[in-house]
Amino acid sequence: MEDIKLKNIKVTDKFWSRYMKIVKEDMIPFQWKVLNDEANIIIERERNDKSIPAEKSHAVENFKIAAGLKKGHHYGYVFQDSDVYKWLEAVAYALTTGEDKKLEKTADEVINLIEMAQEDDGYLDTYFTIDAKERKFKRLLESHELYCAGHFIEASVAYYEATGKDKVLKIACKLADCIDRNFGREEGKIHGYDGHEEIEIGLTKLYLVTKEERYLKLGRYFITERGKDSGFLRKQLEEDKNKQPILIGMNNFEAEYFQAHKPIVKQETAEGHAVRFVYMCTALAEVARLTGTKEMYNACKVLWDSVTKKRMYVTGGIGSTVMGERFTFDYDLPNDTMYCETCASVGLVFFAHNMLKNEPKGIFGDVLERSLYNSCISGMSLDGKHFFYVNPLEVDPKASERDPGKSHVKVKRPAWFGCACCPPNLARTLTSIGKYIYTKDEETIYTHLYISNESSMNLKGEEIIVKQETDYPWKGNVNITVDGKDKEFTIALRIPNWCNKYDIKVNEEAVKYDVLDGYAYISRKWEDSDKVNLNLLMEVQEIKANPYVKDDFGKVAIQRGPIVYCLEQEDNGKDLHLIKLPKNVQYKCEFDSELLLGVVKIKARGEKFIVKDDWGESLYSSDDNEDLYEEKVLTFIPYYSWANRNDGEMRVWIKKA
């Protein structure tokens, strides 16, 4: 199974084209200014922690210093370089789908700068080149050297594929060769791995574009090496004569935090830092596919189940606590202290996508869709200039302001963060949204996402044009036109798990199809302009969580199609915790073009608890008078669109009678 190349997919979708446009026209130029410290914005700390470097980004300046063009010291996190790399990757995808000479020139200049910052032996990392040459590869628990390298390699592959210019790829190969010389099983090399997975993803992509087996071997090495010696990361720190930490606080974490507590193929639960975990799984799934290693793919399935069946929020967010931005334990999904980092949702999308390349199963496509439409895009304001690092499911502005344990739960999206991993991560995902729509093998075109597009794909040596038109995510109608060239092949359509009733027609007529693992397979001889019509019934659904999710017991989340909804104070007044949905509540849906750039809002007659005057000043009472509720018309809005008006309370899980 393989991807369709991004350049062969033209997204024409109303919903996603707006995102792609806003990223290209607003977010990318804005982020470029921020990386150059020219944006005139306030950079916020992601939580109340004075040690977070937030005076400026300095990311481009770091490269200029490393390149010898400027004098000074490195500033920012040790992984600040990755902000530039993710920006470059987003630019590459934006250029793949539309020419922009000015943007390309800026990107070329950045690549020249990166080339100048690269050391003669291929080493590339501005922090170490500027301020800590003698500490290279000596503190991998904290250093993020291979993490940054992985991001650069990903960007370079994307830029090469977008423009055909190979300079960036040469820099990437030189860097990968440097890593290859330094790491591996051979005598004299470091027998170890990075504290933050990412290089593995980069290497699989570099292998695919260069066909150089060494890169796949190295990616596989990092995967098999992780956790073999679970003490590696710590031992390295102890052996380092210079005890000065590079990233304060990192060395408090145990091996499990870095998914290094046992070999990956032996790991059975989603543990540690959530972004690290999903990046690891993304690479694991891809190496499993590329090398045909069953043991690796089986491990992927076990880890997939752990994260999606026991540790994932209804929004597709992951990471239950701010303490280490990590997983905790099964069914521990608090709504108001959670983490749900935007990068973690983006990483879950990558993991799901790579699982789909191994095996087309609805469970992967469903999570891909859930995460994308909810906790990924909630990471960005509708104007594309403000971002969430953390995506809460319940917010009370008072608590965010006064409770030190909730300082990470922002009410408003900041313009930028001291740790700016999320905004450019989202940018690169949104500009490449097209690549998540399909995969294909020799016989079958799999449609995982319903997004209007025109694509061409090679099947059995023939160029097949597929055109998809839909009003998703607001309506469940999907029309697919296939120029089938009289070929026999199969089109597989994902039937989302939220859909209880659907209908498939070809050329207006009922057709025979088989359903397997969440996909409807239509096999036939396809002629030019054949039309497939899929109609997915999109109803409002009350979603319940497993009863062991303590925070959601007795509550429901409202979902319609792929979109999870929430209540905001702006529409429903404050004290959202007093609101209850009665039994047999009726929901009414209406597309409101004026609201939040056009959304389907959901109205319902709910109830609000009446706080009687006789409560007076008392905090507790033994009064057993009957509780009284008043009727209240509720307005639900899509979760992704919250916090785009006035500050206020928000909640996803609502009490249900």
The least CB distance from residue 421 to Zn ion, in Å, is 3
x/- contact string, 20-59, with Zn ion (CB under 5 A)?
----------------------------------------
Give, to the nearest 10 degrees, the angle between helix 81-96 and helix 59-66: 110
**Length of the chain, please?**
657
The least CB distance from residue 408 to Zn ion, in Å, is 12
**From 264, 422, 566, 576, residue interacting with Zn ion (rule: CB under 5 A):** 422
Tokens found for residue 425? 């991560």
Q: Which residues of 470-505 are buried (b: 16+ CB within 10 A; e: fewer)?
A: bbbbbebebebbbbbbebebbbbbbbbebbeebebe
From the list Zn ion, ligand FUB, none, partner contacted by residue 369 (C-beta under 5 to 8 A by kind): none
Site for ligand FUB in 569-628 (CB under 6 A): none
520 binds ligand FUB, rule: CB under 6 A: no
The least CB distance from residue 150 to ligand FUB, in Å, is 11
The least CB distance from residue 211 to ligand FUB, in Å, is 29
d(CA 563, CA 473): 7
Q: Give the N- to C-terminal CA distance of the chain in Å, as an integer.
A: 47
From the list Zn ion, ligand FUB, none, partner contacted by residue 58 (C-beta under 5 to 8 A by kind): none
Using DSSP, state whether 458 is helix, strand or coil: strand
What DSSP line would sit under 14-33, residue for residue? HHHHHHHHHIIIIIHHHHHH
Q: Nearer Cβ to ligand FUB, position 6 or 340? A: 340
**From 275, 299, 457, 499, residue interacting with ligand FUB (rule: CB under 6 A):** 275
278 binds ligand FUB, rule: CB under 6 A: no
Site for ligand FUB in 321-360 (CB under 6 A): 325, 341, 343
The least CB distance from residue 422 to ligand FUB, in Å, is 8
The residues that bridge with 390 in the sheet, in sequence order, are 341
CB 357 within 8 A of CB 1: yes
Give the residue numbers annotated as catalytic, written as ranges. Answer: 325, 421
The DSSP element (H or E) to which 336 belongs, if any, is none
The least CB distance from residue 311 to Zn ion, in Å, is 18
From the list Zn ion, ligand FUB, none, partner contacted by residue 564 (C-beta under 5 to 8 A by kind): none
Using DSSP, state whether 286 is helix, strand or coil: helix
Token pair 């992601």 is found at 46
Tokens found for residue 223? 């995967």
From the list ligand FUB, Zn ion, none, partner contacted by residue 197 (C-beta under 5 to 8 A by kind): none
Q: Nearer Cβ to Zn ion, position 160 or 388? A: 388
**From 24, 47, 138, 196, residue interacting with ligand FUB (rule: CB under 6 A):** 196
The least CB distance from residue 325 to Zn ion, in Å, is 8
| E-only strand ranges, 97-188 | none
Q: Nearer Cβ to Zn ion, position 196 or 406? A: 196
- Side chain identity at 158, as an amino acid letter? A
CB 575 within 8 A of CB 629: no
Residues 6+ apart with CB under 8 A from 611: 578
Taking CB atoms, the residue at the shortest distance from Zn ion is 343
CB 248 within 8 A of CB 258: no
Tokens found for residue 199? 């290089």
Q: Nearer Cβ to Zn ion, position 143 or 342? A: 342
Site for ligand FUB in 78-107 (CB under 6 A): 79
Cα 143 off chain centre by:
23
Q: Residue 596: is it exposed, middle or buried by C-beta count within 10 angstroms (0-12/13-18/19+)?
A: middle
Q: Nearest 5°: phi and psi at 481?
A: -105, 130
**From 54, 356, 421, 549, residue interacting with Zn ion (rule: CB under 5 A):** 421
The least CB distance from residue 509 to Zn ion, in Å, is 48
Question: If binding means CB under 6 A, how many residues of this protein chain bind ligand FUB?
Answer: 8
Q: Nearer Cβ to ligand FUB, position 60 or 343? A: 343
Site for Zn ion in 309-348 (CB under 5 A): 341, 343
Using DSSP, state whether 128 is helix, strand or coil: helix
Q: Nearer Cβ to ligand FUB, position 277 or 438? A: 277
Q: Nearer Cβ to ligand FUB, position 143 or 490? A: 143
d(CA 69, CA 622): 73
Helices (H), 292-371: 294-310, 342-358, 362-371
Supply angle C-alpha 382, 387, 388, rounded to 5. 115
421 binds ligand FUB, rule: CB under 6 A: yes
**From 281, 299, 419, 466, residue interacting with ligand FUB (rule: CB under 6 A):** 419
From the list Zn ion, ligand FUB, none, partner contacted by residue 408 (C-beta under 5 to 8 A by kind): none
The DSSP element (H or E) to which 308 belongs, if any, is helix 294-310
Site for Zn ion in 434-473 (CB under 5 A): none
From the list ligand FUB, Zn ion, none, partner contacted by residue 196 (C-beta under 5 to 8 A by kind): ligand FUB
The least CB distance from residue 38 to ligand FUB, in Å, is 23
Binding site for ligand FUB (CB under 6 A): 79, 196, 275, 325, 341, 343, 419, 421
Q: Residues interacting with Zn ion, by CB under 5 A?
A: 341, 343, 421-422
